[in-house]
Amino acid sequence: MLGKVSLLLQRLGPPASHNAFLTQRFLHGSLFRIHPSVSEALASQEPVVALESTIITHGMPYPHNLRTAEEVEGIVRASGATPATVGVLGGRVHVGLSKEELCFLARSEAPLKVSRRDLPYVLSKGLSGGTTVSATMMAAHRARIPVFVTGGVGGVHRGGESTMDVSARLEPARRPMEMRDALEYLETQGVCVATFGSSQDFPAFFAPRSGFVSPYNVRDEREAAALIASALALGLGSGVLIAVPIPEEQAAVGQEIEEAVQRALTESREKGITGREVTPFVLRRVSELTQGKSLEANMALIRNNAAVGSGIARALATLRQEEQNPSTRRRRQAAQASAVVIGGINVDFIAKVKEEKLVMGQTNPGSVGQSFGGVGRNLADCLTRLAVQPLFISALGVDVLSESVLSHCTHMNTSGVARLQDHSTATYCAVITEKGELGVGVGDMDIHQRITEQYVSRFEERLTTASLVCLDGNIPVSTIDYVCGIASKHRVPVWFEPTNVDKACKPFLSGSWKALSFFSPNLAELRAVNQALGLPVPAAVPSSLDDVLGSALALSRPLLEHLRCVVVTLGPHGVLLCGDAEGGAVSLQRVDYKRQPGGRLCGIHYPAIPISAGDVVNVSGAGDSLAAGLMAGMLQGQDWDTCVKMGLLAADMSLRSHDAVSPALSSTTVSLEQVRARRWPPVTWQWSD
């Protein structure tokens, strides 16, 4: 049905010029305000995404509405675009809202629902409210914002407000005749309709297929942007509507929700509810009938649309820049190939005992805190804070913990995170000693097995163009094999973060490991991998530093027949970088790496940044922060020495933080300048012929 389809709308053409005076008064006078962040982005030709605000004022109760609005804006930012939420405050149209303004709309007790037709009255009376699709589109059009993202056009009631400047006939199509008429009406208005993805199936709101087809489909953000750019160039003055199917994992509950919607619509008619009161009634009633499932599906749809729309806006901005300056194409290709992280998300409960030793079988005095972890999440978090902006692919349950996770991760691109009914969000409980050492850990991580090959294959286009794909050991073996196959075919470097001894061997159970470029085990994990390959290993992990370094290089040697680099993490002893010796260095940048037979290997030992036991707050994210800092340097094109030192800086910040990833981590606190400003302990070299 059209009225509640997952949609991305793009309004074309310049504002009408027949009344230039009123247009200028609206844009620059007391009736209209563009937030500085939006103005700056538009002036710089950076991507901007318009967002409606009735979802804040009428779509969800407080505080869910505020959290969702902030999360959607966070997704837009993490995708490299500037969010421009549109609302009316005090008789003035705002394009782009501050945090305080979002909160004002979210907490309003009786906000107005402002459609295009209502704007003259609301502005003349100095009132406030949330803007509908039609009003938001008008404001975005006036502000020259070409891309507008929404959950759907129209309301859930019959006779909903007009959308895309056409009549109220574009109401929700609950019956096949209504759907057909609505699509035909769009055609008569010259609106180009396309489905996002590999299929031309036109989606319903809670299902990927409605029984009707779009005239066209666009396979990815780049194709969608090219379609919009062509329409803009033609100056048609109509619009492009891109229908985005609901995420597959939410479609399973679609039939139940659709039946609830039909029942709610029937009840609204029986109660004599009409006009703009229908939407709030039906939304509330459907949530009751589905026990909240409709709200979860709604939020998943909105998140997905925000990510897709932001990607299209970014691609459109790039196309425009290329038209003006062809030399930007090379820079685009480098920026487009962003990193992808596939791995687990956990909610961590960390208990730190006050005594030096953990006593089993009794209560140990200490402190207990909650944080957010998971190796994949930690890596994606670190990389995002270091300005890499990776796509994160993972899985969460539909529960209270998942809401906490997503609220914490609004700065990240979590559009690849599946929300799964009847599965629990992964949890991890760790008990650490006074010195910060792990005493015992317990994990409930079954949901990680749902990060399947089938789900990850939805992002194959991103995988084939990525500058780096990072896998953690939580995901299934079949998924690792699938990604390694894609990477090998398209020459995409893959980094494997093993997670623990038991999971370290997953890629090495088949020939998939030969497609890896980077591997970051500790010594015990490296020993386990050699055992899995049937290679001789020392009887026990050595204790002295010299023996540890020699053993690590020896155990890395057989892996370096195919891998570019093995990064052996040594805890308080730092890190050993092992690889082919090229002019006395280990190459991290060469994509065409192939080790020469009989070549000489080297291991470069970097001591950890000194830290006292009393300053160690949490050890759970230090290794992940080390790896992410090193990756960030590598993706920035830094030399191997700077890359490792960036990793050590990130690890040191993690050790001093209650969170697995320090909130203070940024491209300023971990940078080339910070590396140069610090005095570093001397490195040592190990050689192997």
**Of 312 and 274, more confident:** 312
Q: Is the pLDDT of residue 2 over 50?
A: no
Q: What is the pLDDT of residue 360?
A: 85
Which band of pLDDT confidence, cut at 50, 70 and 90, is reported for residue 349? confident
* pLDDT at residue 179 in the model: 58
In whole angstroms, give the CA distance from residue 216 to residue 228.
13
Q: What percent of the chain has pLDDT over 90?
A: 46
Q: Is 70 exceeded by the pLDDT of residue 584?
A: no
* Residue 333 pLDDT > 80: no
User: Residue 448 class from Cβ within 10 Å (0-12 exposed, 13-18 middle, 19+ buried)?
Assistant: buried
The predicted structure's pLDDT at residue 485: 96
**Model pLDDT, residue 180:** 63
Look at residue 332 and tell me whether its pLDDT is greater than 60: no
What is the rounded average pLDDT of the residues 312-316?
Answer: 91
pLDDT of res. 304: 86
Determine the Cα–Cα distance for residues 232 and 30; give it in Å rounded to an integer: 29
| The pLDDT value given to residue 649 | 97
pLDDT digits (tens, 9 = 90+) for 221-230: 889 999 998 8
Contacts for 318 with CB less than 8 Å, ≥ 6 apart: 225, 328, 332, 336
- In the prediction, which pLDDT does 276 show? 65
63 upstream amide cis, omega within 30 of 0: yes
Nearest to 94 by CA among 58, 144, 56, 139: 139
Mean pLDDT of the chain: 83
Residue 585 has what pLDDT?
Answer: 57
- Residue pLDDT, tens place only, 26-41: 444 578 899 999 998 8
CA pair distance 153, 134, nearest whole angstrom: 8
Task: Give the Cα separation of 479 and 467 in Å (integer).
Answer: 19
Residue 277 or residue 181, greater confidence: 277
Which whole number is the average pLDDT over 562-569?
94
Helix/strand/coil for 253: coil
Q: Cα dihedral angle (408, 414, 418, 422), rounded to 10 degrees?
A: 0
- pLDDT tier at 597 (50, 70, 90 boundaries)? low
Residue 57 carries which DSSP code? Answer: I
In the three-class reduction of DSSP (H, G, I as helix; E, B as strand; rest coil), residue 401 is classed as: helix
Classify residue 498 by burial, with Cβ atoms within 10 Å: 0-12, 13-18, 19+. buried
* Distance separating alpha carbons of residues 574 and 588, to the nearest angstrom: 18
Report the alpha-carbon distance of residue 328 to residue 318 in Å, rounded: 8
Q: Strand, helix or coil at 133?
A: helix
What are the two backbone dihedrals, phi and then psi, of residue 208, each rounded to the nearest 5 degrees? -70, -15
pLDDT digits (tens, 9 = 90+) for 126-180: 999 999 888 998 899 889 999 999 877 543 333 333 333 332 223 333 334 445 6
pLDDT tier at 574 (50, 70, 90 boundaries)?
A: very high
Structure tokens at 144: 């020259």
Tokens of 262: 């039909």
How crowded is residue 639: how many other Cβ atoms within 10 Å of its Cβ?
14
- Which of these, 569, 591, 563, lies nearest to 580 by C-alpha position? 563
**Tell me: the pLDDT tens digits for 527-550?**
999 999 999 998 888 888 999 999
Residue type, 99: K
Q: Which of residues 424 and 319 earns the better pLDDT score? A: 424
The per-residue pLDDT for 295 is 75
Q: Name the burial class of residue 434, with classes exposed (0-12), middle (13-18) and buried (19+) by CB atoms within 10 angstroms of its CB.
A: middle
DSSP character at residue 682 = P
